[in-house]
Amino acid sequence: MRNRDKSKSQTQSSGTLARKSQEGVNKFLRRSSRLSSSGKKEQDGFFLENDLKTNDQEVVHTMDVCNASTVEGCHRDAIENSQAKEQEVVHSMDVCNASTVEDCHRDAIENSQAKEQEVVHSMDAHNASPGDDCHKDTLLDDSEEMNDSDWEDGSTGGRKPVRRASAEDKASLLSLLPTHLLKISEVSNITANALTPLVTWFHDNFHVRNLARAERSFRTALATALETHEGTPEEIAALSVALFRALKFTARFVSILDVTSLKPKADTYEPSNQVAERVSGGIFSTSTLMVDNLKRASIAPSPVQTSPCNEKDDHGISSRKSKGGCSTSNVAQSRDSTSFKESTDGKSTCQVQPDTSRQCVPKNSQGLKRKGDLEFEMQLAMAISATSVETHENIHDSSDGNNSLEASIPMKRWKRIERVESASCFQGFSTALGSRKVGSPLFWAEVYCDGENLTGKWVHVDAVNAIIDGEQKVEDAAAACKTSLRYVVAFAGHGAKDVTRRYCMKWYKIAPKRVNSTWWDSVLAPLRQLESGGMGGTIKVSEHPGENSSLDRVILPEKSGQEASKEYGSKIEVESSVKGSFVATRNSLEDMELETRALTEPLPTNQQAYKNHALYALERWLTKYQILHPKGPILGFCSGHPVYPRSCVQTLKTRERWLREGLQIKGTETPVKVLEQSTKLKKARVSEDVYDEIDSKETIELYGKWQLEPLLLPRAVNGIVPKNERGQVDVWSEKCLPPGTVHIRLPRVFVVAKRLEIDYAPAMVGFEFRNGRAVPVYDGIVVCTEFKDAILEAYAEEEERRAAEEKKQTEAQAISRWYQLLSSVITRQKLNSYYRGSSSSQPSRNIQDKNIETKTPVQSSKDNKQPTAHRKANNQDTTHTTSLVALEVGHEHVFLTKNESFDAENSIRTKRCECGFSIQVEEL
């Protein structure tokens, strides 16, 4: 029972969780659908954000490299943004609209109150409008004005002065692309190798940089990144996706979700107030100062480092998490500051970029008390100190070399530490940087290469680090940087798909850290459809070369197709069916690929990994109720122990336990396992009147499911119910009922069976623990089927009779109580009358009122012959004043049953005394 209650509460809580989650997803879907149907403004242009809070009509001809929608929390409705009544006509080329969903599951877990804290960076390359000539405008026309409000954060409130856009502002990725690279879009059956020059070019021209920027929208940041060729890893990765999509590739934005651990203590950070306290003189101030000094000694000062560390990171993710202080944003920035690089020729490069995050480290170290964090601080300081010389030796300018910031801030230049092997690179970081997620690959692109394999393949493309098809390296890189690969999600359209399997080679390490897969799948299900639909909207129109410019042929979603020119739209319709089947095939192939990976995970090298491994098992890690059957095949060995498929592990149960499931042991089967269980049985020696403890060995015989057959209980014969040795039937389920019997779950039904002399057995349905011991719980009886109707009929009659009897008893009790009440009143009145004139009036003080008003269902009869009771007629229901003074003294009313009458219509029972007094009782 206790467990049952627990499981019940768990079910309820999980139900609440699931409901909240579903609400969140539904909100997202509703917003998404609004976005897709809310008109040309949003489809063609930006997803309007708060920074566009102006009622002024603005005609903005701008090149919008990214359609980024940032939604912090599902409760922040996108509609609110559009309520700003912007009437801008935004002519833009949306190249990228990637989305990042973060922490939705964490929020659901941590906060069942549905304070969804999802951060959705929606970046959808498919929101480009096909028929919009703005592409050409924005790409080719430098003379158009660009409103600054599109580029600056609107949080400042007022409008900023319009400025002329520079040439860089209006430059586009495509216009930046060398002509020979533009031709890559015409290649059919694209392969990963064919992407190499493109990725190399991108890598040479766009760089990860952590600039201390004021808080602003992701879209604005992305535009700036395009303008300056620098940005955070997220921005650069998003730009790379934009580029791929602009070149007609099917691409999506992939991100490792930086989620909070399921276990509260795993990766919590101190609240800011605690940090502040410690900064102001906490017990760790000495040690952290030591680290601080060490760091100061080893790190050359940079002008940029003077910027406050509590500025929010460019990511919505990090900035949201850094609400409590700079600690988390520092982590995020640190993560950005170092990136893994591997050139396509096999050499790997680690890029270390000193940035503004450094100046946060001392504060951060002061605020954190964990041993690992302190170690990290010291390791970081030592590592930087130790590598500073090497860094200077190996330092080269970034490839473009024309960045003013770089020119003015030498320490912000890239430090490229060449490594021959990528693994050694990761290890270097792991050793030097300890317990922090630094330099981890967090964002990249996936490009669908139909020339790969026979059926096409999603190819990992990390343009930031110039890595192509390096999916197997992601896990190691992330692990080296202490980043968990729990969720790798690909975004396209307004949807998302979990592709963790593609990048996770050690699923057994990841699986326990993920949320319940059923819940996660249900959350992602609608997003998967959107993702699929978004990707499905990508149409390659290379089949019609020459009809449109290359820019017009850029990728168009179905929703945008509605707004395309009619002739163009008709082509889309024709092609949509072909495309649909292709997309479906591609999706199913990818699903198969991911499923195959799930089933073909390499054997772990340590034994403990087999403990709960979903695919493999070691015999030594089986529990006492498990066995290998069949014992083979042997898939390999781990430390000399044979590895078997997990499917060979069978759960064993006792005969009784199998009976509960409606199964019984086959006649010829012997137990596959016999356990010896030592039990101490207390047995009383009656003769000696002492207790003795006797150690006895009991055996537990266990059977496997292959030894079972359906339960065959003896059939009921001649109305006799087969019973067990306790004279009852254990009804664990319907399967446990003997054939020909039925379970009647009614209270007191055994009385009826007994009265009818029908054979029955008490139905035991379970146990509950009372007073430290198990007590069987009975519910109803088991009788032969042929007696069911008779018993039910008799039960109904019996219940009716019982109800009437109960009612009668209740009425009698009520009468008795009324009688007692009235008698006591009369007695008091008599006493009052008796002692009124003689002695003190004290006793009569409480009964001075001549009339005692009673508000009861009691009514005096209309035909009351006594004048002592009269009736207030204002309410039929009974407020009456009984003049008790006039009650006949010396007579006790007796209401005999034979004198009663009952008015069924009004439910009024009239009780009469022999003296003629009567009362009416309304039966409720």
Partner DNA sequence: ATGGATTACGAGTCTTTGCTCTGA
Partner DNA sequence: TTCAGAGCTTTGACTCGTAATCCA
Residues in contact with DNA by the rule CB under 7 A: 2-3, 6, 263, 431, 512, 605-608, 611-612, 623-625, 638-639, 656-657, 675, 677-680, 724, 726, 728, 730, 764, 766-767, 769-776
To DNA, the closest distance from the beta carbon of 730 in angstroms equals 5
Q: How far apart (Å, rounded) are the C-alpha atoms in residues 915 and 894?
A: 9
**Nearer of residues 256 and 643 to DNA, judged by Cβ:** 643
To DNA, the closest distance from the beta carbon of 629 in angstroms equals 17
- Percent of residues in the chain assigned helix, strand, coil, to nearest 5: 45, 20, 35
Cβ neighbourhood burial of 193 (10 Å; 0-12, 13-18, 19+) = middle
To DNA, the closest distance from the beta carbon of 354 in angstroms equals 24
**Nearer of residues 567 and 693 to DNA, judged by Cβ:** 693
Three-class SS of residue 687?
Answer: coil
CA dist list (Å): 312 to 721, 724, 797: 76, 72, 77
**Nearer of residues 111 and 431 to DNA, judged by Cβ:** 431
Q: How far apart (Å, rounded) are the C-alpha atoms in residues 183 and 358?
A: 43
**Nearer of residues 6 and 715 to DNA, judged by Cβ:** 6
To DNA, the closest distance from the beta carbon of 653 in angstroms equals 8
Q: Check if the beta carbon of residue 507 is closer than 8 Å to that of residue 598.
A: yes
For the chain, state the CA radius of gyration: 41
- Going by the DSSP 8-state scheme, the letter that residue 716 receives in this structure is P
Q: Which two tokens stand for residue 591?
A: 């699903």
**Nearer of residues 748 and 891 to DNA, judged by Cβ:** 748
**Nearer of residues 241 and 652 to DNA, judged by Cβ:** 652
**Nearer of residues 45 and 604 to DNA, judged by Cβ:** 604
Q: Check if the beta carbon of residue 559 is closer than 8 Å to that of residue 37.
A: yes
**Nearer of residues 15 and 916 to DNA, judged by Cβ:** 15
Which residue, 191, 184, 224, is CA-closest to 206? 224
Strands 457-462 and 443-449: antiparallel
- Going by the DSSP 8-state scheme, the letter that residue 117 receives in this structure is -
CB neighbour list of residue 324: distance below 8 Å, 6 or more residues apart: 269, 270, 271, 272, 275
Q: Which two tokens stand for residue 302?
A: 């940079």
CB neighbour list of residue 45: distance below 8 Å, 6 or more residues apart: 60, 64, 67, 88, 89, 90, 91, 92, 94
Q: Check if the beta carbon of residue 871 is closer than 8 Å to that of residue 858.
A: no
**Nearer of residues 1 and 578 to DNA, judged by Cβ:** 1
To DNA, the closest distance from the beta carbon of 899 in angstroms equals 28
Q: Check if the beta carbon of residue 60 is closer than 8 Å to that of residue 51.
A: no
Which residue, 447, 474, 445, is CA-closest to 458? 447
Q: Which two tokens stand for residue 271?
A: 């609240």
**Nearer of residues 298 and 607 to DNA, judged by Cβ:** 607
Which residue, 659, 677, 674, 673, is CA-closest to 628? 673
- The residue with tokens 């003379």 is 143
Distance of CA 545 to the CA centre of its chain: 46
To DNA, the closest distance from the beta carbon of 275 in angstroms equals 23
To DNA, the closest distance from the beta carbon of 776 in angstroms equals 4
**Nearer of residues 725 and 905 to DNA, judged by Cβ:** 725
Q: Check if the beta carbon of residue 508 is closer than 8 Å to that of residue 540.
A: no
**Nearer of residues 11 and 306 to DNA, judged by Cβ:** 11
**Nearer of residues 73 and 671 to DNA, judged by Cβ:** 671
CB neighbour list of residue 778: distance below 8 Å, 6 or more residues apart: 728, 762, 763, 764, 765
Q: How far apart (Å, rounded) are the C-alpha atoms in residues 855 and 879?
A: 5
To DNA, the closest distance from the beta carbon of 468 in angstroms equals 28
Q: How far apart (Å, rounded) are the C-alpha atoms in residues 659 and 653?
A: 10
**Nearer of residues 79 and 777 to DNA, judged by Cβ:** 777
To DNA, the closest distance from the beta carbon of 630 in angstroms equals 21
To DNA, the closest distance from the beta carbon of 92 in angstroms equals 49
**Nearer of residues 120 and 729 to DNA, judged by Cβ:** 729
**Nearer of residues 482 and 880 to DNA, judged by Cβ:** 482
To DNA, the closest distance from the beta carbon of 193 in angstroms equals 34
Phi, psi (degrees; rounded to nearest 5) at 703: -130, 155
User: Please, what's the b/e burial string for 876-891 (b: 16 or more CB within 10 A of its CB; e: otherwise)?
Assistant: eebebbbebeebeeee
Q: Check if the beta carbon of residue 708 is closer than 8 Å to that of residue 654.
A: no
To DNA, the closest distance from the beta carbon of 723 in angstroms equals 11
Name the CA dihedral angle for 818, 824, 826, 828, rounded to a multiple of 10 degrees.
-150
For the chain, how long is the longest CA-to-CA vector?
A: 129
CB neighbour list of residue 801: distance below 8 Å, 6 or more residues apart: none
Going through 19-129 in order, the beta strands assigned E by DSSP cover 59-61, 68-72, 89-91, 97-102, 119-123
Q: How far apart (Å, rounded) are the C-alpha atoms in residues 614 and 599?
A: 9
To DNA, the closest distance from the beta carbon of 660 in angstroms equals 8
To DNA, the closest distance from the beta carbon of 775 in angstroms equals 6
Q: How far apart (Å, rounded) are the C-alpha atoms in residues 523 and 21?
A: 7
**Nearer of residues 209 and 743 to DNA, judged by Cβ:** 743
**Nearer of residues 677 and 785 to DNA, judged by Cβ:** 677
To DNA, the closest distance from the beta carbon of 1 in angstroms equals 8
Q: How far apart (Å, rounded) are the C-alpha atoms in residues 354 and 342?
A: 19
To DNA, the closest distance from the beta carbon of 520 in angstroms equals 18
To DNA, the closest distance from the beta carbon of 462 in angstroms equals 24
To DNA, the closest distance from the beta carbon of 438 in angstroms equals 15
Distance of CA 230 to the CA centre of its chain: 35
